[in-house]
Structure 1
């Protein structure tokens, strides 16, 4: 029996921007907390179980820069996550909205959280279903398409095998356009240089006068 390939959902940068700009009531709001927690994990790649266990002990400062250091609940693998470097420190900015990392990590159960995320997705007009775990897929996929080596993404996410990480190397349409545009620019540049070299050999006096 051929097993169906598991689909790994992720959000595009435009989707994240919609969520970041989503207007929610100013009063203390559980939806805002869930949204912040979800975005935090989009920008650092933690599983729900690992996020929920975070305490101040997991925040480590090295040379004045903040890292998350923890052992994964699922695998036991040690994770060293440079919050200040990932996505220009966006996770740090979210964390600083709260009195403590414990307060940010104090979410309810996963199923309730996912129901709220579905509502938030509809409010933000995102045309795809996503769950809390989508944040981890999003982090990995965006890092790969920013050019971060697969082996580095593997260590950041705590995958025991690089094959697990390679599932995130899907190609965005916009990546295809960007890469082909860059290739065309390089081709045109090389062609112009070659043409100028041919002209300078054919008409050396003209190019010497310029």
Structure 2
């Protein structure tokens, strides 16, 4: 077994083995159980891309997580894989400092891989034998109303460039007012929008199309922002940097933008684009929205995923309880 974790190798320096092999694969028809894991991984990646229409990020992550196991084991035959191999792999991941949640992602990816193999009549260990570590339910981070107001208005006070100010303020308004994921926001094109319409459609996770609604404020900012744009670039949110002007704004740029304005707004906690998504869902729940509607607006395929947004802070609970005294 190769000591994949030793020496100077690190997660950021993973070898991209068989980089060009993992596309356009189909499962060989003979001796399938004597195939190496790397070959079957290629078929699985092809399945994710072309059959399941998984997002590029999902495909990239699953490829990375399973490839780590393949490299750790030295690319064995699928018939040689045993639950104990994966248990040892899990322990090696823990030694590198990865938390339980991230390690679980690796196991979830392996489960999907094994289910795919069994579905294609390739004998392998049962996915059910791969247990996930129990993780305490974390408290979802979200912003209070005064913090939301502060961050949404921050570009007005701290950005002097008119176009950048308009773009940044619209990004914050859309993240909070629609609950879009960053990947959905960055992929938004002009053709997706009809000016004057508060509703538009977007292709989210799993290539599922859903309706998204602008707030009146966000719609106003959108119209003003697009009127300021003198270019014909397709992305709604473009980079304004000299070396990438006109390209769709990157995920990293959005994350940095949110961090910057949260700090300038005096918010003394970590704020990410997903914090604004949490805040969107939390505010809907507080205002009486039912969980199924929130699920639809967020684009969740499972109601269980939406359940994490139904937390209510102590102050709100006290306000509800105080109604008994009125």
Q: Same fold (TM over 0.5)?
A: yes
Q: Deviations over 1:116-166 (max 9, x none)?
A: 322221111001111122222121111111111110011111110111111
Unaligned runs of 5+ in 1: 186-210
Note if contact 1:95-1:104 (Cα within 8 Å) is conserved in structure 2: no
Paired with 1:51 and 1:14, the residues of 2 have a C-alpha distance of 24
Length, aligned pairs only: 178
Tell me what 1:46 maps to: 180
Tell me what 2:223 maps to: 96
Paired with 1:65 and 1:116, the residues of 2 have a C-alpha distance of 27
Q: Which has the higher contact order (CA 8 A, sep 6+)?
A: 1
Q: 1:34 to 1:25 in 2, by over 3 A?
A: closer
Note if contact 2:186-2:251 (Cα within 8 Å) is conserved in structure 1: no
Q: Does 1:165 align with 2:299?
A: no
* Cα deviation, residue 176, structure 1: 1.4
Q: 1:75 to 1:180 in 2, by over 3 A?
A: same
Paired with 1:46 and 1:118, the residues of 2 have a C-alpha distance of 17
Tell me what 2:200 maps to: 68
Note if contact 1:19-1:121 (Cα within 8 Å) is conserved in structure 2: yes
Unaligned runs of 5+ in 2: 1-132, 240-248
Paired with 1:6 and 1:173, the residues of 2 have a C-alpha distance of 16
* Aligned-residue RMSD, C-alpha: 2.5
Higher percent of residues as strand:
1
Q: 1:94 to 1:9 in 2, by over 3 A?
A: farther
Q: 1:116 to 1:56 in 2, by over 3 A?
A: closer
Q: Which moved more, 1:158-167 or 1:131-140?
A: 131-140
Q: Which moved more, 1:147-156 or 1:100-109?
A: 100-109
Q: Which secondary structure state, in structure 1, belongs to the residue aligned with residue 206 of structure 2?
A: coil
Tell me what 1:78 maps to: 209
Paired with 1:95 and 1:150, the residues of 2 have a C-alpha distance of 28
